[in-house]
Structure 1
Amino acid sequence: MTRRFGEDRSGNIIVVFALALIPIFGLVGAAIDYARATSEQEKIQRALDTAVLAVNRQIGQMDEAELKEYAQSIVDANLQGLSANIDEVSVDEELRQVDIVASSSVETALLKLLKINEIGISARAQSKTGSASFEIALVLDNSGSMAGDRILTLRKASEDLVNTLFGNDPVSDEVNISVVPFSGSVNVGPQNANATWMDRNAISPVHQGIFSGKVNRFDLYKKFTNITWAGCVEVRPAPHNVTDSLPSASDPATLFVPTFAPDEPDYRKVWIFNTDDYTNNYMTDKSGSCTKDTSQFQGSGDDVKNTAQVCKYTSSVTSKTGNSGASIRGPNYICDSEPITPLTNVRSDLLSAIGKMQAKGYTNILEGVTWGWRTLSPGLPFTEGVPYDTPNNAKFMIVMTDGANTVPTNNNQGLKSAYTAFGYANENRMGTNHNNGATVQKMNEYTLQACNNVKAAGIKVFTIAFAIDDATTVNMLRGCASATDAAFTAQTTSELSDTFAKIAGTLGELRISQ
């Protein structure tokens, strides 16, 4: 028995298997621990990318020791529980270049079996700005469909984008941003009433609009005791509706005409009934020097005659309502959005403008795009933009909307539509018939033409289709964007916030050369 026991080899497999487990556990442990290390290295790299941009803005304001301490604070704030040490900060003031190297270590879990207690990781980032600068137009839908959580989310997402690009600076040396809220029209600011690019002398071919006889809209506004021009303008006649052509009195069609929504009839006669169904009735039909009662309509053209008559606008006219608003009748009807904020590098001015945005009115993406372009352009009407060929300067436009272009048409009335930035549909300024599908299609065509002109000028366009089910509008926005990866869709408010953050990150990454 003793001899047989000494010669028995049947238990050796257990010993061999036990010995084999050591390298197996080592390989599995290495894979798991190195995956953790890679994940933390990526987080450190993102924090370092943020820090190098922030440090670059402080060149000339801090010495290298202070810059290193500042970089460490930025990294710590972004790592949220992880840690990394800034090992080196090198600065070239002439090139405005910053290089930062950071390192850390990850404590192992399974590799400890092989007596490997930690894995060292490092990251490096470089920001070289030189004299680089960014100009960004935020073209933001403020139409009525944006009410509630949507407009609140849009405000917050836009504010976050501004804060990301400005870093800790109240005033940026490199970033200028404009805010262009749009709804049915765009508000260029009532302070610009006397600007040379406004049609002060009623010489534009669209200034008369539907009015009978010679009319100057600014003079009409002066007749009211309780209303002044709120700042909105009509779409310029083609081809200037899709271009940045300089406004000049030598070419009256290039000038900008103030919106003036005429007083519409008190009612119209349907069979034997008087129906008060006009969108913008704010005066009685026999106001002023109008003595003939033209409100008892017998034909479809009588509403046009009544709306067009100028005799009702005499001295000391009082509108039934006060100034502006989609739900408030008056000459400023459709002037719903807040005024444009031209390019500025002052963070507080941008945050203030964004915080005032309200959701009202129709949707006119075309006017949003063209006025966003005009804020980036170096020429009138806004001249804050630097010339297109300025070295190391890049221009961007972010267009966000939650709906399709809108023209409220009505074939049952002589006016053919409510008043819009194109006037009334019966003025045929879009060259289409008077049904909604045809006018929207034409607006989409104009919008794409404007986008293509913007891109041809060297401006990169990002678009965001927010909770839009209409495939035509989504495709139009894709075509408007500069590239496939610059066209975003977002279905929820959280996705909208993420999209703005992604675009902010993309713009920030353009500042990181390594």
Structure 2
Amino acid sequence: MTVKSQYSFAAFRRACTSFKRDIRGNTALLFSFAIIPIGIAAGAGIDYSRSIAASAKLRAATDAAALAAAIVTQDSVGTRVGVTEERIRTATAAFNANIGQTTTLTGLNFTLTDLGTTVRAVSSAQFTNAFGGLLKRPTSTLNAAAEAMLATNANYEVAFALDNTGSMADSGKMTTLKAAMTSFLNKLDAANRSIGNVKVSIVPFGNMIRLDTTTAAGAMWIKQPLRDLTQWPGCIGDRISPAYDAKATVPSTGTPETLFEAIDGAYNVFPVTPSSTSVVPALPFTPIACNMAQVMPLTENFPTMRATITAMTPGGTTNLTIGMSWALQTLTPGDPFNNALPFGGSHTKIIVLLTDGLNTQSRWSTDAPTMNARTLAACTEAKSKGVIVYTIGLMSEDTALLTSCASTPGKHYFAPTPAQIPDIFDVISMDVTTVRLSR
């Protein structure tokens, strides 16, 4: 019995020694101990990324609310009595619209304070942590704040010279431009009720522009006022170059070179009919149409603006000079439109030139360097009169030309794809409404 007991004890000792030396399964054992902190760290990382996105959304909504409030200068009934309350209502609506439906942010709180020259928007929310149970922190508090300078009442005349050439049919450029312009006009429409008086003109251009014949035919600033222009499609080409093609000189019958000539889509000029002629001779050519949308003079009628944008159709070649010169013509007091304010007043005049290509054909030239010189002359003419010029190149551009044309290099934008156009218009709309985040 004694031998058996000693054997059993020795066997037990050998088993213990063997167990102590055996390292098999250590990795699994260690991993089982480490998996909890690893899981906690991974969960914290996921929650951190989610909270960054949620915080950005809160800041964006707060910024939008401050900007929306800043452009309000009167209450809903057109007085300044309840302007602070109107700003608060406007800001709150903008904040709610930008936050939208969210399950990650709860306990939303938003306040707007009118500081006299600025407005301050402050917001906070609770962010729900998906892995908060592991960290004993189910929610985190997010905060955002923004200040915006208040808008001042002002008068704006904004002329858009928009490339309507055939290449604008490619890559969805025209479709995107129409949508971006409509959105831009909607913002100006809203701002028009707050920042003052906003008038807009639109100049769709190719290698020529097109006027409304019901008002232009027979006008004394047309070189053929006495001719029967019932067959005239409304096409207008460049004036005499280099004397007047890039200038905003008001047309005068005393200086025939300043008058605009009725042409067709192939640059055929309608003959002038002397006042002594009793019978108008037949045309020596069959008129060819120019199918671009008609020039829209300055107006506060936003439905008319939107209709002009809808009517735009790509076609023809590129003549940047005529786009610029007619945009300036719409901002010039006197004929042919007679509804612009004088240059040099307290109001602001702006031209936005957008094109997707290079100069290819004018009435007088197809040589790109020659045409570029005339475009720069038109830009210089506009800037000399105090007009602020923005230029936008879409997918393809002469960068040096458009940068030189703009009032400053910072007012030239290049959009590598049509998708950037709405963002560029948003930047310009902020300049037009003179509202910016100050903090």
Give TM-score, length-normalised by structure 2.
0.73
Deviations 1:429-461 (A, max 9, x none): x6xxxxx4xx22211111012213323333222
Q: Which residue of 1 aligns with 2:376?
A: 448
Q: For the structure 1 residues 103 and 169, does the alpha-carbon distance in structure 2 shift closer, same or farther, using more than 3 Å as the test?
A: farther
Q: In structure 1, what residue type is equivalent to 2:300?
A: N
Q: Which residue of 1 aligns with 2:259?
A: 256
**1:396 Cα deviation (Å)?**
2.1
Deviations 1:357-404 (A, max 9, x none): 12222321101001112222345444433344333x333221111222
In terms of mean alpha carbon deviation, does 110-119 or 39-48 score higher? 110-119
Aligned pairs for 1:271-290 (under 5 A) are none
Counterparts of 2:39 and 2:315 in 1: how far apart (Å)?
Answer: 69
Counterparts of 2:262 and 2:179 in 1: how far apart (Å)?
Answer: 30
Q: Which residue of 1 aligns with 2:205?
A: 182
Q: For the structure 1 residues 510 and 381, does the alpha-carbon distance in structure 2 shift closer, same or farther, using more than 3 Å as the test?
A: farther
What residue ranges of structure 2 are gaps of 5+ in the alignment?
A: 1-29
Counterparts of 1:281 and 1:185 in 2: how far apart (Å)?
Answer: 12
Work out whether 1:403 is the aligned partner of 2:357: yes
Q: In structure 2, what residue type is equivalent to 1:239?
A: A
Q: In structure 1, what residue type is equivalent to 2:308?
A: A
Q: For the structure 1 residues 119 and 507, does the alpha-carbon distance in structure 2 shift closer, same or farther, using more than 3 Å as the test?
A: farther
Deviations 1:470-509 (A, max 9, x none): x6x3432232223333322334333444443444355456
Counterparts of 1:240 and 1:440 in 2: how far apart (Å)?
Answer: 19
Q: Which has the larger radius of gyration?
A: 2
What residue ranges of structure 1 are gaps of 5+ in the alignment?
A: 1-12, 201-216, 263-278, 283-306, 322-328, 408-419, 423-429, 431-435
**1:231 Cα deviation (Å)?**
5.4
- Give 3-state SS (helix, strand or coil) of 2:327's partner: helix
Q: Which residue of 2 aligns with 1:421?
A: 363
Q: Which residue of 2 aligns with 1:294?
A: none
Q: For the structure 1 residues 170 and 347, does the alpha-carbon distance in structure 2 shift closer, same or farther, using more than 3 Å as the test?
A: farther
Q: Which residue of 1 aligns with 2:60?
A: 43
**1:242 Cα deviation (Å)?**
2.0
Q: Which residue of 2 aligns with 1:213?
A: none
Q: In structure 2, what residue type is equivalent to 1:80?
A: G
Q: Which residue of 2 aligns with 1:476?
A: 401
For the 8 Å contact 2:356–2:393, the answer to whether it is kept is yes
Q: For the structure 1 residues 57 and 476, does the alpha-carbon distance in structure 2 shift closer, same or farther, using more than 3 Å as the test?
A: farther
- Give 3-state SS (helix, strand or coil) of 1:184's partner: coil
Work out whether 1:72 is the aligned partner of 2:92: yes
Q: Which residue of 2 aligns with 1:242?
A: 246
Aligned pairs for 1:166-315 (under 5 A) are 166-167=189-190, 173-190=196-213, 191-196=215-220, 198-200=221-223, 217-219=224-226, 221-222=227-228, 227-228=231-232, 230=234, 232-253=236-257, 255-261=258-264, 315=279
Work out whether 1:87 is the aligned partner of 2:108: no
Give TM-score, length-normalised by structure 1.
0.64
Work out whether 1:346 is the aligned partner of 2:350: no
Q: Which residue of 2 aligns with 1:145?
A: 167
For the 8 Å contact 2:237–2:267, the answer to whether it is kept is no
**1:23 Cα deviation (Å)?**
12
Q: Which residue of 2 aligns with 1:269?
A: none
For the 8 Å contact 2:67–2:437, the answer to whether it is kept is no
Q: For the structure 1 residues 195 and 316, does the alpha-carbon distance in structure 2 shift closer, same or farther, using more than 3 Å as the test?
A: closer
For the 8 Å contact 1:106–1:121, the answer to whether it is kept is no
Q: Which residue of 1 aligns with 2:393?
A: 465
Q: 1:107 aligned to 110, 128, 131, which one?
A: 128
Q: Which residue of 2 aligns with 1:372?
A: 327
For the 8 Å contact 1:180–1:341, the answer to whether it is kept is yes
Q: Which residue of 2 aligns with 1:205?
A: none
Q: Which residue of 2 aligns with 1:133?
A: 155
Counterparts of 1:406 and 1:172 in 2: how far apart (Å)?
Answer: 40
Q: For the structure 1 residues 193 and 261, does the alpha-carbon distance in structure 2 shift closer, same or farther, using more than 3 Å as the test?
A: closer
Counterparts of 1:246 and 1:336 in 2: how far apart (Å)?
Answer: 26
- Aligned pair count reads 406
Counterparts of 1:140 and 1:39 in 2: how far apart (Å)?
Answer: 35
More helix by share: 2
For the 8 Å contact 2:121–2:146, the answer to whether it is kept is yes
Q: Which residue of 1 aligns with 2:27?
A: none
- Two-structure CA RMSD over aligned residues (Å): 4.5
**1:29 Cα deviation (Å)?**
8.6
Q: In structure 2, what residue type is equivalent to 1:260?
A: I
For the 8 Å contact 2:200–2:297, the answer to whether it is kept is yes
Counterparts of 1:511 and 1:384 in 2: how far apart (Å)?
Answer: 30
Aligned pairs for 1:311-350 (under 5 A) are 315=279, 329-330=286-287, 333=288, 335-350=290-305
| Identity value in percent | 23
Counterparts of 1:32 and 1:234 in 2: how far apart (Å)?
Answer: 58
**1:147 Cα deviation (Å)?**
3.3
Counterparts of 1:493 and 1:169 in 2: how far apart (Å)?
Answer: 27
